[in-house]
Amino acid sequence: MDQEIEVKFFLSNLDSLRDRLVGMHARLVQPRTHELNLRFDTQAGDLGRSFQVLRLRKDIDARLTYKGPGSIDHGVRVRQEIEFTVGDFDAAQRFLQALGYQVSMIYEKFRTVYDLSGVLVTLDEMPYGNFTELEGATPQDVIATSKKLTLQWEHRVLDSYTLLFEHLKTAQQFTFRDLTFDNFTGLEILPQMLSLQPADLG
């Protein structure tokens, strides 16, 4: 309960994985949806320094999420996650700001979600590339699903999308704050710039 057990993989071909999921009769949970995320922190950055996340997300719903520091279990990232739906995205933002939190980053993606034998498999289109995320009840479920999908386990990604962005910003000396499609317009991001290997090649 209140746990996120997941791992990511960088993809060279998002459509190929989608076709594989459909061929395995995975259930479509969420069609391709634009997702807007506001990440909040104190003015001093206390949450980020302690590896905690406070996030307000808008996709088909509006949801408020807290994530605690993570750990690695059987090669899978595990962290506390408390998430619930809120009725009004704008009011939730004002609520957090009234408590003294401020938006520290905006990030967005397009996400499609499938359920494959109880494991959620996302197809994530990020401004810097395409990924899949596997989230299950146990690390063993996640590992087994990665094998079903013939994803190379040694190329899994344990960093968050925002942390990958921070590494990319530092390496490429990007000066913009937000992980948005507008900020990446006209930029070609190669796998080596992310220090990642596609997990669907082999």
For the chain, domain boundaries: 3-194
Whole-model pTM: value is 0.95
In angstroms and rounded to an integer, the radius of gyration of the C-alpha atoms of the chain is: 17
Whole-number percent of the chain with pLDDT over 90? 98
Residue 11 pLDDT > 70: yes
pLDDT at 1: 72
Angle at 150 between CA 149 and CA 155, to 5 degrees: 110
pLDDT band for position 4 (50/70/90)? very high
Task: Give the CATH number of domain 3-194; options: 3.20.20.10, 2.40.320.10, 3.20.20.70, 2.60.120.200.
Answer: 2.40.320.10
pLDDT at position 44 is 97
Q: What is the mean pLDDT of residues 136-155?
A: 97
Rounded-to-integer distance, Cα 96 and Cα 93, Å? 5
Q: Is the pLDDT of residue 73 over 80?
A: yes
Residue 130 pLDDT > 70: yes
Q: Is the pLDDT of residue 77 over 70?
A: yes
Q: Flag whether pLDDT at 201 surpasses 90.
A: no
Residue 27, pLDDT above cutoff 70:
yes
Residue 21 has a pLDDT of: 98
